[in-house]
Amino acid sequence: MIYRTHNLGELRKENIGQKVILSGWVATKRDLGGLTFVDLRDREGITQIVFHTDVADAAVVEAAQKLKTESVIRVEGEVRERFSKNMNIPTGEIEVFATDLTVLNSCETLPFQMTDTGLNENTRLKYRYLDIRRPQMIHNLKMRHKMIMAIRNYMDKAGFLDVDTPILTKSTPEGARDFLVPSRTNEGQFYALPQSPQLFKQLLMIAGVEKYFQIAKCFRDEDLRADRQPEFTQLDIEMSFVELEDVTRIIEGLAKTVFTAVTGETADYEFPKMEYKEAMERYGSDKPDTRFGVELKDLTDIAAKCGFKAFTSTVEAGGIVKAVVAPGVADTFSRKILSDYEEYVKRYFGAKGMAWIKLTAEGVNSPIAKFFSEEEMNAVIERTGAKTGDVIIIVADKPKVVYASLGAVRLRLGKELNLYNKDEFKFLWIVHFPMFEYDEEEGRYKAEHHPFTSIMAEDMDKFLAGEMDIRTNTYDLVLNGSEIGGGSIRIHNPQVQEKVFEKLGLSKEQAREKFGFFVDAFKYGAPPHGGLAFGIDRWLMVMLKENSIRDVIPFPKTNKGQCLMTEAPGFVEKEQLEELYLESTYVEETK
């Protein structure tokens, strides 16, 4: 049986008079007695099918009247010019008068209508195979395909080799928690699923591959949110004999190519570069959204001399005081709204509080105004650039808390006050991240990126002298406030790598146990190299202006890491656990 001669987005006026065979899903049906209209849909579009007693047998028209929505059918007929045209769809100038109808598969009552908007996400995920039929999801998957093809074509032309790396590998401390897989043939031992192909891609540089890329599945057992999944797709890239400028130039060309393939727009400008330190001081974020202003302003020196103890004690303890200006909201931001903002920074970012100053037509209105002299208040207004009608929002705390709090407040203001153009895209490089960050909970230093990032030549003497305020040859690519990719020039000197491990609190024995094979490889002629990894899902999410990566992944998981469609994760049989030398009571107790 021939199922179709054309897809359902293909027929045009040029096809009028042709006999065609079409197959697809019944999107809608309108029964007018002896005349039945069916909108037939497939991946490529919709074509209107007409069942009329003047053309088709009565049995065919009667069968059409009984069709259920989302049933799969095959029709034969003739293309005719449509009397009432629909210029909103590509096939809107024609329709097909059916002479034959075959029901290939009837559809039972649907759990939801395909035209429903605002569906509960759990329902969408449980019936994902139905959700994907919806135009937006099909469009997103098409764009994902275009994105992947654009990547592969660009990388091939640039001389990169696509090389696979293992999925079952060794657990190494790279940041997030590993997913572990017990080995049946090696009792008591475990594989780890890769958080990224980081070690292998560097080993490929030592192996002389020189230019490597891979579209890789990666896994991280960490808390989830809208732009994070336990398994995700990563574009992994590494190249030899390069410096920072070489990498960013090649990657910038890739980003522009992919951007055009997905959005149809161009980004015909050199992506600006901003130092990590500047990004934090101006935007409170290492992935700033530069589509709007509302930058952080430093008030530490002014606050240190005022009469407000919460400010002065913070400065004395080594903290900072910074502010952002909410433009034009002095009359609309009530105390209740400002209290909500304060609760927001306290609950989610650990701030001790939030102060505010309204500049009204009558003058300054603020609970803390009495603690400032007129000269000090004028200095605050001048420093922030605030005008009548604005509200100054201030946070005083440790730098990490202040940046996180005001960075989030800034983004919230941008969204709630419509301060940016939602149709605009802005790329930005953030460069030279710190090598180390101090983890107060664990009481030790960790790698800001990962422990294989190279140290800037200007800071190498400081590093060798034991200082921790060290900058690295790192770079993140940011699009509209989302980090879509990041990487670094790597350490290729084994002595420097060992010293980094030492700074991170790893003993020689621990470093040998975790990374012995890796460090050994560097003794056999490692070239200077660097690379980058893109989060495919997040990158596509931003370009398509979706709010969640679950809308660009075919079969995603929930915030709890569950697949509602397959009901994974699930319990296993006791015998399976015993084969893996695991306690069978795990199953019994959970049941």
Integer Cα distance of 569 and 170 in angstroms: 23
Record the tokens describing residue 567, joined without a space: 């009901």
Tokens of 323: 């502010």
Tens of pLDDT, residues 138-184: 999 999 999 999 999 999 999 999 999 999 998 876 567 899 999 99
CA distance 399 to 280: 10
The mean pLDDT of 58-80, rounded to a whole number, is: 96
> Strand 190-192 to strand 273-275: parallel, antiparallel, or no bridges (unpaired)?
unpaired
Whether 447 and 506 have beta carbons less than 8 Å apart is answered as: no
State the pLDDT at residue 173: 63
Query: Residue 40 in contact with residue 24, Cβ under 8 Å?
Result: yes
At residue 174, the pLDDT reads 57
Q: Is the pLDDT of residue 587 over 60?
A: no
| DSSP 8-state class, residue 13 | G
Percent of the chain whose pLDDT exceeds 90? 82
pLDDT band at 498 (very low <50, low <70, confident <90, very high): confident
Contact call for residues 358 and 366 (beta carbons, < 8 A): yes
In 273-292, which positions are buried (b, 16+ CB within 10 angstroms) versus exposed (e)? ebebeebbbbbbbbbbbbeb
pTM over the 0.85 mark: yes
- The pLDDT value recorded for residue 226 is 63
| Cα gap 7→16, rounded to integer Å | 15
- In this structure, what are the phi and psi dihedrals at residue 27, rounded to the nearest 5 degrees? -80, -50
Q: Does the structure show a pLDDT above 80 at 583?
A: no
For the record, the structure tokens of 140 come out as: 């997103």
Instruction: Please compute the mean of the pLDDT values over residues 312-318 and round it to a whole number.
Output: 97
Average pLDDT over residues 510-534: 89
Cα distance from N-terminal residue to C-terminal residue, the chain:
50
User: In this structure, what DSSP letter does residue 314 have?
Assistant: H
Least confident of 38-42, 360-364, 434-438, 587-591: 587-591
Other CB atoms within a 10 A radius of the CB of residue 181 amount to: 15
Closest CA to 530 of 248, 238, 234, 250: 238
Segment 221-241 shows an average pLDDT of 88
DSSP 271: P
pLDDT band at 343 (very low <50, low <70, confident <90, very high): very high
pLDDT value at residue 18: 97
Contact 321, 394 (CB under 8 A): yes
> 280 CB contacts (<8 Å, ≥6 apart)?
286, 403
Question: Does 72 score more than 50 pLDDT?
Answer: yes
Residue 336 has pLDDT above 60, yes or no: yes
Mean pLDDT of 469-493: 96
The answer on pLDDT for 473 being more than 60 is: yes
Within 10 Å of residue 410's Cβ, how many Cβ atoms? 27
Give CA 408 to chain center in angstroms.
17
Specify the residue for token string 């305020």: 469
Q: What's residue 507's pLDDT?
A: 84
3-state percent breakdown (helix, strand, coil) of the chain, nearest 5: 35, 25, 40
Kindly tell me if the per-residue pLDDT of 589 is higher than 60: no
3-class DSSP assignment, residue 437: strand
Taking all residues of the chain, what is their mean pLDDT, rounded to a whole number?
Answer: 93
- Chain centroid offset of residue 418 CA: 22
Longest pairwise C-alpha distance within the chain: 92
- Mean pLDDT, residues 295-312 taken together: 97
What the block records as the tokens of 208 is: 């002389």
Q: What average pLDDT does this structure show over 486-515? A: 88
Q: Which two tokens stand for residue 497?
A: 């790598």
The predicted-structure confidence for 26-37, as pLDDT tens digits, reads as follows: 999 999 878 999
The Cα–Cα gap between 100 and 77 comes to 7
Q: Are 559 and 121 in contact (CB under 8 A)?
A: no
Q: Tell me, what's the pLDDT at 448?
A: 84
Q: Residue 7 CA to chain centroid, in angstroms?
A: 33
Contact 17, 99 (CB under 8 A): no
Average pLDDT over residues 245-261: 97
